[in-house]
Structure formats: structure tokens, C-alpha cells
């Protein structure tokens, strides 16, 4: 039963076994922070703490699910399911539903995703007659978001001359009005946006001491992963809830703080010891994830940052292969290189696709990677683009469902009131919005009372509006008896949505229908799942909540063997045996937009640290000499971050000339260069694209390059080694890492070992050549 504690080292065991009091674990990547948090929860439960009294906050819901599963393995499913675990947003959305009436919200409030929020912002800017080039809706919305995350309400905004002045200086003097309108519209629509989930929680616990006391009592043990990336609003919630019992355990790594641009405050971690009494601080130093080369290279990067806590990270893992640095001509070539390297690694080491990840700084870089992977038939999955639930057709269906739950939901209404077309045009919609404002009601309420309100809409349009409202109400009646799946099937038929999509016979139209089928499949799973689950969750409202808060990562069923593609920001907390970090070029990474101050540059560097520390076994860094940016081919030069890595951890493989040489040798591995692209890349005036000459430093490094070779020298081998080997032994292989000897056969020079490698699986190696060490 206690056996799981043996999965921890000494240093990790201490925070797990400290039952009470505030504590912080600050430690580098891969040192087991998340594992500590997980096992600490299991330990608390074994010590008799009621799972109802434990709250764990994670970076993704997927991480929470995995943790819960792990805990369930130790303490049992029935106990584990009562834990409150999830992202800040999902946990507090749940709490707010129970207390919504106190804030004047319906308990079935809608959650606006960022798309809804941005659409609303954009609509308001338009309604106010403002210049959309000055008032850019994305910027305005991000300012609204930052206000909320700093708990600056509309009232607080107008009471603060400095803020007002700042907006005047920025030539958007009417920001405050937009903010006010935005907040009012959300409220009237019975909707909260993502930031509201935190802001309103703060409001709730500040305004209602009894509510605060209730949850302080409920959450006697609070645990937070990735604490370095909490924002002010999240910080205050954690602080308030943990104030009574002070059983708060946070884990994080200041070197991995990468969300300052979204308001995360690294001071939350730095000041933790000041915020609580008698804080126990723990350090973990041993990295279990990565090879020595990767750990030490990562250390050498972060050394360049001035603002950092002193930390040691080391590993007893093997050196592993050096980090490959590879230079290419264009992004298309970069894609081909990565795809072909993945292919080679797969073949050479018999690996599945899910052992590989490609990380990039910006989403746009995925295209070249996708093209190349597709050509090689390597299945992949992109995270972080539009989430499945944000695709137009899916969202249209969901909007009908949202209206059923909450007819006040303005964004949902706007999406579907005239889709499929019902002859309710934009002018009618504008009139409805004006009337809603006049009567201080939601749009749906105006429609319901269309005969009684003072509005200039003709009779036939009024009938159409009435029909629409009747249809929604008939769906509502059905919701009482039907489950989510049945209801949705009915809705897409009755609303003529399916017919509309079927009319469109294009490939795109077909794939839209497939997506809706996929949505229905998901609903069926949800309904089935609910039957097995404890609590009486399972209503349409709950389905919608899950969906609204699902990040792309959460939809990952984990049953697909695919290469993962994502931005570095999304990769936090994850790990992959083989990792490609692409586009390591100045102005791209570090990003041109994040080089104005040392702080910004340091955040970019931390981002690079996060990226590299995702790699378990082998990392590849690529850069190109030219790249299309904003539609133009521009010269690129290698990122300073490459130079910042201590050279001894790097292997500069074939750049230009030798690269062609290598490609000739392995011709079958390479695609024909895409000639159309090459032609395009010439600027119109006929001069060929120029490329930067490598710098002196670069040349010096390039001279040292060596071809990639698998057959390393066996000079270090201890003599008589083969004779000592027996089944059951754990060995280290220079490339494959750690594995267990399963079987031995043959004699002398023909002696072979069958080894089950952690990463590569079962392999048979000829001992004469195999580079093995007994662990
Ligand atoms: P990050 O900073 O990237 O979030 P982390 O500190 O949370 O990393 P974990 O993800 O908990 O680190 O652990 C990294 C890897 O090392 C995981 O695969 C984990 O299972 C493994 N690991 C952690 N501790 C041990 C241990 N004591 N023995 C063996 N493996 C361990
Ligand atoms: Mg972690």
C-alpha cells in the first residue's frame, strides 16, 4: 500500500510527507514536481483526509485527469472521484454555478469562449460607431481581459485617472465605455467570459464572508501545479481560500514562467514565503526526464537570465546523443528535414509516432511541417489551433444548445437566429439590439414580447421572429426528457441545419457534416460516461460547460498514435522522447515583438528553456536562412539562443553543402525539392533571394560539424563486458537509453541480447557492436 512512496527520492518524499502547513517546491524542469503533487494527494487521503476537503489546481484539465487516474490506482476509484481537481477555470466555474444567484447570475449561465468575447467586443465597437482600425477588437478585448485579471472593475477603471489617461494617450479614449458596455452585455446575456470565472469568484468571496468561510472549510488542503504562471486574480483566490487552514502546497519553477504577457505574475512564486507564516521550502534537484546533454544544455541557457532563483538541476541519466543543430534554406526544406528525420528515427529505432513532437514559437509555422509530414504519410496532430468545439459548424450546433439552456445568451443567438437563413436580416438584428438596450432586457426577451415592444419591424418579420422563439422553446421542453445526444439529433434536423449542410456538396461541406457526427459521437460518450459517474452531473448544461472549458489538449483521447505539433506555450508540463524545436531564428524566436526590454527577452529565453526541457532522449534544433514572413521572403539568421547553449552539448550536422551531399546519399529519404516554391521565392525584380552569410562564430562552429553517425566508437567499453550480461539486468544504450535485458543468445562474436528499452521497445542487438553499460 505504501509502496508508491518508493517511487520518490528522498527530496521528493519530504514535501509528500509533510501533512500540514504552507509549503513551496521550487525546482527545475523534469524534477518530479507534478509527481510530488500527485503522490501527496494520495498520501493525504491515506492519512484519512477526506477527498472532499482537497482541491488541486492544474494547468490543463488533461493533467488533472491523469493525476486523478494515478491517485485512483493508489487509493481506489471510489475515493479518488470525489477530489476537486482541474484548471482554475473549470473548478471555479463549478463553484460559481452553485453560488451564481448571489451575484445575480442564473446558475445555468453561459461561458463565453474567447471567440464569443472577441465577437462581442467587435460588435460593440461597431455599434458605437468607432473606427475599427483604431479600436482593434483583439487589442481592446485583451485590455478588458487584463483589467479583469487585475480585478479592475468598470467602476474601478473610471475611478482611476491614470488608467483613463493611459487610454487617452494610446488614442482610444472610449475604451472605458466599451468595457462598461461589454460587461453589461455579458451580464444581460447571463454569460461569463473566461476572466469572469476568476473575477466573479473573487467578488463572491470578498462580498460574502459566509461563502468564503464555507469554502475555506471545504478546501482544507489546496495544491497548485505550475504556480509560477498564476495571475493576480488566481493568486487572490488561492490566498483567500487557504487563509484559514494554511495547508497550501504550491509547486513551480521560476525558470518556466512564460505567461507574463497574459498577466501571470512571477512574484507570486517569489513572494510566497512572505505571504504565509512558517513556509517550508523544498528543492528538488534531480531530473528524471532527460539525458545529461539536454539537462546541462538547458542549464547553460537559463544561465543567461539575470532574474532567476539559484537552482541546481542534474541527472543521473546517460549523456545521450548531442543536440542536433541543423540549418536549412527555407521553411519547406525545414519541414522536409524534420519529417525525414522523424521517419529515419522511426525506422532505425522502431518507434511509434507518439514518441515525437514538433514545437514552434508561432502557430503559422505548423503549415510547412504539416505539408512534409503528409507527404511522408506520418500521422500528426496539431494542438492549439481552433479547438474542435470552435469550428464553425460545431459551434453553430452548440449555439442552439446554449440557447436552450440560456435563451438570453446573446452571442449564441446572433449566430443562429438567421442560420439556416430564416429571413431575419442584419437590420432586424440591429433593431433588436437597440430595443434590448432600451428595455434593459435580453434580445430573446425582446423577441418573446415582439408584439408589445416599440420597434419598427414589419409584420412578416415579426412572425419569423415569433417562430424562431417558439422553436427554441419547443427544444427546451424536449430537454426535460431527452438526453444530450437525442436532443441534439433532433435539433439539427428540426432547425434545418443538417439540410443546409447537405446542400453544400463540396468536400468542405462533407467534412463539416463529419464534424457534426463527431460531435454527436462525443455526446454519446458523454451520456454513457454519465451513467457510470457518481454525481448527478450529466445535463446539457454540464456538457456545455465541459465543452466551453475544454482546451485542445483536453480533447486528446490519447489513443491515437500521432506526432504532436504545438506551440511551446502549450507544451508546458509535457514530455517527449524525440523533440524538434523549429524556426530558431532571430525575430521569430526570440520573437521580434518580445525584444523591447530585458524582461521580455528573458521571458523568451525561459520559453526556450521550457521547450528544450520537454525532450527526454534527443532534441533537434532547426533554423532556416530565409523565411516567408508577412507574405515576403526575408533573410533570417540563427537565433541567439543556439549560441547561448554551451557548444559541447551540440552537434552541428550538415549545413548547406554537406547537407546536399548527405541528401544525395540518402536520396530515397528525401522528397524532390518543390520547384514551384523555389520559383516563387525569387523576388519579382528577378534578383535571386539573398541569404545571410554565416557569422565568424557560426563558421567556427560549422567547421566542427560532424556527420550524424550511429556507430560510435566502442573505445570506452570495458573488456569482457558481454560475458557479464544476464537476463534481468538493466542496461544503458547510448542511443536507446535504458532497458532491461530479456534474453541472450549466440556465442562469441555472434552473441546477441534482446533488450526491452523504455523508449524504443524490444530490440535485438549484436553485443559486438552494441554500446551498452550495465546500470
Ligand atoms: P515540469 O517542470 O516539466 O512540469 P516536473 O518537475 O513536474 O516537470 P514530472 O513531470 O513530475 O516533473 O517528472 C518528470 C518525469 O520524471 C516524469 O516522467 C516522472 O514520471 C519522472 N520521475 C519523477 N520522479 C521520479 C523518480 N523519483 N523516479 C523515477 N522517475 C521519476
Ligand atoms: Mg510538471
DSSP string, 3-54: GGGGGS-HHHHHHHH--SS-EEEEE-TTSSHHHHHHHHHHHHHHTT--GGGE
- Probe target for ligand 1 pocket from 4, 32, 58, with the most ligand atoms within 8 Å of CB: 32
Please say if the pLDDT value at position 532 is more than 90.
no
Mean of the per-residue pLDDT values of the chain: 86
pLDDT at 403: 96
State whether the beta carbon of 8 lies less than 6 angstroms from ligand 1. yes
Instruction: Give the mean pLDDT of 567-575.
Output: 94
Please say if the pLDDT value at position 694 is more than 90.
no
Q: Which residues of 246-272 are buried (b: 16+ CB within 10 A; e: fewer)?
A: bbbbbbbbbbbbbbbeebbbbebbeeb
CATH of 388-537, one of 1.20.1250.20, 1.10.10.10, 3.10.20.30, 1.10.486.10: 1.10.486.10
- Asked which of 67-81, 240-254, 663-677 is least confident by mean pLDDT, the reply is 663-677
Q: CATH assignment of 110-189?
A: 1.10.10
Please say if the pLDDT value at position 220 is more than 60.
yes
Q: Which CATH class is domain 1-103+198-284?
A: alpha beta
- Give, using CA atoms, the residue closest to atom 24 of ligand 1: 32
Between 694 and 426, the more confident residue is: 426
pLDDT at 416: 95
Unique residue bearing C-alpha cell 508540463: 573
CA dihedral 581, 585, 590, 592 (to 10 degrees): -140
DSSP strand pairing (563-567 vs 380-382): parallel
Please give the share of the chain, as a percent, with pLDDT higher than 70: 87
Global pTM reads 0.78
Say how many CA atoms lie within 13 Å of 12 toward its Cβ. Answer: 23
- Answer yes or no: are the C-beta atoms of 253 and 33 closer than 8 Å: yes
State whether the beta carbon of 40 lies less than 6 angstroms from ligand 1. no
- Probe target for ligand 1 pocket from 6, 255, 289, with the most ligand atoms within 8 Å of CB: 289
* C-alpha cell at position 727: 537476463
Between 711 and 563, the more confident residue is: 563
Q: What is the pLDDT of residues 418-443, one digit of tens each?
A: 999 999 999 999 999 999 999 999 99
Unique residue bearing C-alpha cell 442564473: 106
Active site residues: 33-34, 225-226, 256, 614
pLDDT at 696: 54
pLDDT category, 13, cuts 50, 70, 90? very high
* C-alpha cell at position 492: 439539427
pLDDT at 735: 65
SS3 766: strand
Q: Pick the closest to residue 341 from 636, 708, 649 (CA basis).
A: 708
Please say if the pLDDT value at position 656 is more than 60.
no
Q: What is the pLDDT of residues 309-334, one digit of tens each?
A: 888 899 999 999 999 999 999 999 99
Architecture of domain 314-387+556-652: 3-Layer(aba) Sandwich (3.40)
Between 77 and 674, the more confident residue is: 77
- Give, using CA atoms, the residue closest to atom 17 of ligand 1: 289
Between 719 and 5, the more confident residue is: 5
- Give, using CA atoms, the residue closest to atom 30 of ligand 1: 288
- Report the distance separating Cα 3 and Cα 662, nearest Å: 51
Please give the share of the chain, as a percent, with pLDDT higher than 90: 65
Task: Extract the runs of DSSP E, i.e. beta strands, from 285-367.
Answer: 323-328, 356-360
Who contacts 613 (Cβ-Cβ below 8 Å, separation ≥6)? 28, 29, 30, 256, 289, 290, 294, 295, 298
pLDDT at 87: 92
Please say if the pLDDT value at position 343 is more than 50.
yes
Phi, psi of 5, deg, nearest 5:
-65, -20
pLDDT at 395: 93
Q: What is the pLDDT of residues 127-172, one digit of tens each?
A: 999 999 999 999 999 999 999 999 999 999 999 999 999 999 999 9
Please say if the pLDDT value at position 685 is more than 90.
no
Q: Which residues of 681-715 are buried (b: 16+ CB within 10 A; e: fewer)?
A: eeeeeeeeeeeeebeeebeebbeebeeeeeeeeee
Q: Pick the closest to residue 317 from 304, 338, 298, 336 (CA basis).
A: 298
pLDDT at 308: 83
Who contacts 707 (Cβ-Cβ below 8 Å, separation ≥6)? 653, 654, 658, 662
State whether the beta carbon of 253 lies less than 6 angstroms from ligand 1. yes
* C-alpha cell at position 77: 476509484
pLDDT category, 721, cuts 50, 70, 90? low
pLDDT at 515: 86
Please say if the pLDDT value at position 758 is more than 90.
no
* C-alpha cell at position 35: 509527481
Q: How many Å lie between the centroid of ligand 2 and the Cα of residue 274?
A: 24
- Asked which of 315-319, 367-371, 518-522, 628-632 is least confident by mean pLDDT, the reply is 628-632
Q: What is the pLDDT of residues 382-419, one digit of tens each?
A: 887 667 788 889 999 999 999 999 999 999 999 999 99
Amino acid at each position: 500500500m505504501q509502496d508508491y512512496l518508493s517511487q520518490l527520492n528522498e527530496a521528493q518524499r519530504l514535501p509528500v510527507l509533510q501533512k500540514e502547513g504552507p509549503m513551496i517546491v521550487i525546482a527545475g524542469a523534469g524534477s518530479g514536481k507534478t509527481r510530488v503533487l500527485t503522490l501527496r494527494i494520495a498520501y493525504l487521503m491515506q492519512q484519512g483526509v477526506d477527498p472532499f476537503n482537497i482541491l488541486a489546481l492544474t494547468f490543463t484539465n488533461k493533467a488533472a485527469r491523469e493525476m486523478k487516474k494515478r491517485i485512483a490506482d493508489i487509493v481506489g476509484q471510489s475515493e479518488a472521484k470525489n477530489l476537486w481537481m482541474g484548471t482554475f477555470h473549470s473548478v471555479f466555474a463549478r463553484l460559481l454555478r452553485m453560488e451564481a444567484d448571489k451575484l445575480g447570475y442564473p446558475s445555468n449561465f453561459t461561458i463565453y469562449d474567447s471567440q464569443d468575447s472577441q465577437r462581442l467586443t467587435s460588435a460593440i465597437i461597431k455599434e458605437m460607431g468607432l473606427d475599427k482600425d483604431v479600436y482593434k477588437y483583439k487589442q481592446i478585448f485583451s485590455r478588458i481581459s487584463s483589467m479583469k485579471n487585475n480585478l479592475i472593475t468598470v467602476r474601478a477603471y473610471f475611478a482611476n485617472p491614470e488608467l483613463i489617461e493611459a487610454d487617452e494617450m494610446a488614442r482610444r479614449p472610449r475604451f472605458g465605455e466599451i468595457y462598461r458596455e461589454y460587461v453589461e452585455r455579458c451580464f444581460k446575456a447571463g454569460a461569463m467570459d473566461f476572466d469572469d470565472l476568476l473575477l466573479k469568484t473573487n467578488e463572491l468571496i470578498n462580498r460574502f464572508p459566509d461563502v468564503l468561510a464555507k469554502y475555506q472549510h471545504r478546501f482544507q488542503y489546496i495544491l497548485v501545479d505550475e504556480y509560477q504562471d498564476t495571475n493576480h486574480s488566481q493568486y487572490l483566490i488561492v490566498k483567500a481560500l487557504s487563509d484559514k487552514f494554511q495547508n497550501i502546497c504550491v509547486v513551480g519553477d521560476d525558470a518556466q514562467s512564460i505567461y507574463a504577457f497574459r498577466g501571470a505574475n512571477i512574484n507570486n512564486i517569489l513572494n510566497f514565503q512572505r505571504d504565509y507564516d512558517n513556509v517550508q521550502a523544498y528543492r528538488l534537484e534531480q531530473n528524471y526526464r532527460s539525458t545529461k546533454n539536454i539537462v546541462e544544455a538547458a542549464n547553460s541557457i537559463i544561465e543567461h537570465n539575470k532574474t532567476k532563483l539559484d537552482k541546481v538541476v542534474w541527472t543521473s541519466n546517460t549523456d545521450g546523443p548531442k543536440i542536433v543543430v541543423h540549418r536549412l534554406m527555407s521553411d519547406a526544406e525545414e519541414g522536409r528535414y524534420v519529417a525525414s528525420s522523424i521517419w529515419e528515427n522511426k525506422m532505425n529505432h522502431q518507434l511509434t509516432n507518439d514518441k515525437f513532437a514538433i514545437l514552434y514559437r508561432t502557430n503559422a509555422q505548423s503549415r510547412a511541417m504539416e505539408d512534409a509530414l503528409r507527404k511522408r504519410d506520418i500521422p500528426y496532430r496539431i494542438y492549439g489551433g481552433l479547438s474542435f468545439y470552435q469550428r464553425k459548424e460545431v459551434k453553430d450546433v452548440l449555439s442552439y444548445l446554449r440557447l436552450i439552456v440560456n435563451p438570453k445568451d446573446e452571442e449564441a443567438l446572433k449566430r443562429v437566429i438567421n442560420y439556416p437563413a430564416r429571413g431575419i436580416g442584419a437590420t432586424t438584428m440591429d433593431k433588436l439590439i437597440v430595443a434590448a438596450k432600451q428595455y434593459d432586457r435580453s434580445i430573446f426577451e425582446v423577441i418573446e414580447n415582439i408584439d408589445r415592444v416599440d420597434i419598427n419591424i414589419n409584420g412578416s418579420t415579426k412572425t419569423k421572429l415569433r417562430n424562431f422563439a417558439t422553436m427554441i422553446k419547443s427544444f427546451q421542453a424536449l430537454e426535460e426528457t431527452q438526453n444530450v445526444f437525442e436532443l441534439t439529433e433532433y435539433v439539427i434536423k428540426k432547425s434545418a441545419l443538417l439540410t443546409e449542410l447537405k446542400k453544400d456538396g463540396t468536400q468542405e461541406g462533407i467534412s463539416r457534416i463529419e464534424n457534426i457526427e463527431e460531435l454527436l459521437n462525443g455526446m454519446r460518450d458523454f451520456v454513457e460516461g454519465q451513467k457510470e459517474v457518481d454525481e448527478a452531473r450529466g445535463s446539457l448544461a454540464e456538457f456545455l460547460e465541459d465543452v466551453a472549458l475544454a482546451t485542445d489538449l483536453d480533447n486528446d483521447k490519447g489513443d491515437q498514435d500521432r506526432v504532436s505539433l504545438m506551440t511551446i506555450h502549450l507544451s508546458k508540463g509535457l514530455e517527449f522522447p524525440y523533440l524538434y524545436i523549429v524556426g530558431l531564428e532571430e525575430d521569430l524566436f526570440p520573437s521580434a515583438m518580445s525584444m523591447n526590454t530585458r524582461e521580455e527577452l528573458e521571458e523568451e529565453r525561459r520559453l526556450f528553456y521550457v521547450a528544450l526541457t520537454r525532450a527526454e532522449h534527443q532534441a533537434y534544433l532547426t533554423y532556416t536562412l530565409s523565411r516567408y514572413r508577412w507574405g515576403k521572403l526575408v533573410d533570417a539568421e540563427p537565433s541567439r539562443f543556439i549560441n547561448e547553449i554551451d557548444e559541447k552539448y551540440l552537434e552541428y550536422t550538415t549545413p548547406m553543402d554537406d547537407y546536399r551531399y548527405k541528401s544525395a546519399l540518402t536520396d530515397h529519404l528525401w522528397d524532390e525539392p518543390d520547384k514551384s516554391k523555389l520559383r516563387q521565392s525569387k523576388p519579382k525584380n528577378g534578383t535571386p533571394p539573398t541569404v545571410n552569410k554565416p557569422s565568424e562564430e557560426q563558421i567556427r562552429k560549422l567547421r566542427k560539424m560532424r556527420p550524424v553517425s550511429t556507430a560510435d566508437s566502442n573505445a570506452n567499453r570495458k573488456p569482457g563486458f558481454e560475458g557479464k550480461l544476464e537476463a534481468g539486468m538493466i542496461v544503458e544504450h547510448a542511443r536507446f537509453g535504458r532497458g532491461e535485458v530479456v534474453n541472450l543468445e549466440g556465442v562469441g562474436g555472434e552473441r546477441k541480447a534482446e533488450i526491452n528499452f523504455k523508449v524504443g521497445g524490444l530490440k535485438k542487438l549484436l553485443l559486438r557492436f552494441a554500446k551498452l553499460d550495465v546500470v
